[in-house]
């Protein structure tokens, strides 16, 4: 689901703010590094990917993937919204806790989870990527 703002009313993100990119039942939390206003893109440093986080998905708890050592991303501003403190604090608490449960499933690396998520977002919002690269 795309945030409810248009490109002309894109939010004014500041460096070090935590933003969220939602797609399906997944959320990518990232730290803003820089915003390129003329191109309407945001350089972000991924922190965590929360998958299967749906209020109705009782049978499978959400999966948390630590992306702090991954690659930075440059994506259209319109995809992001500011993360709310009450939603991001539990995620950050889990990231910084010494908890072995934040490991990826066998066979998939953190990079693969992030790559798959970004690919899905790109396919779902092609028009934003076409206008961002023009």
DSSP helix/strand/coil, 10: coil
When pLDDT is averaged across residues 104-117 and rounded to a whole number, the result is 76
Contacts of 122 (CB under 8 A, 6+ apart): 129
- For residue 73, which of 25, 35, 108, 38 has the smallest C-alpha distance? 35
* Residue ranges covered by each domain of the chain: 17-126
- For residue 6, the model assigns a pLDDT of 46
Distance, in Å, from the CA atom of 51 to the CA atom of 131, rounded to the nearest integer, reads 28
* Residue located via tokens 């961002």: 132
When pLDDT is averaged across residues 44-72 and rounded to a whole number, the result is 81
- For residue 130, the model assigns a pLDDT of 77
Q: What is the pLDDT of residues 62-101, one digit of tens each?
A: 888 999 988 999 999 999 999 999 999 999 998 888 555 5
Whole-number average pLDDT of the chain:
82
pTM for this model (two decimals): 0.80
């Amino acid at each position: 689901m795309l945030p409810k703002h248009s490109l002309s009313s894109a939010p004014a993100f500041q460096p070090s703010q935590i933003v969220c990119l939602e797609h399906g039942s997944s959320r990518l939390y990232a730290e803003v590094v820089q915003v390129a206003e003329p191109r309407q893109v945001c350089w972000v440093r991924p922190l965590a990917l929360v998958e299967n986080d749906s209020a109705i998905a009782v049978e499978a708890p959400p999966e948390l993937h630590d992306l702090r050592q991954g690659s930075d991303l440059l994506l259209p501003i319109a995809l992001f919204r500011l993360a709310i403190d009450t939603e991001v604090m539990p995620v950050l608490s889990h990231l910084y806790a010494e908890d072995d449960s934040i490991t990826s499933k066998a066979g998939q690396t953190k990079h693969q989870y992030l790559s798959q998520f970004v690919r899905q977002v790109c396919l779902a919002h092609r028009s934003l990527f076409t206008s961002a690269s023009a």
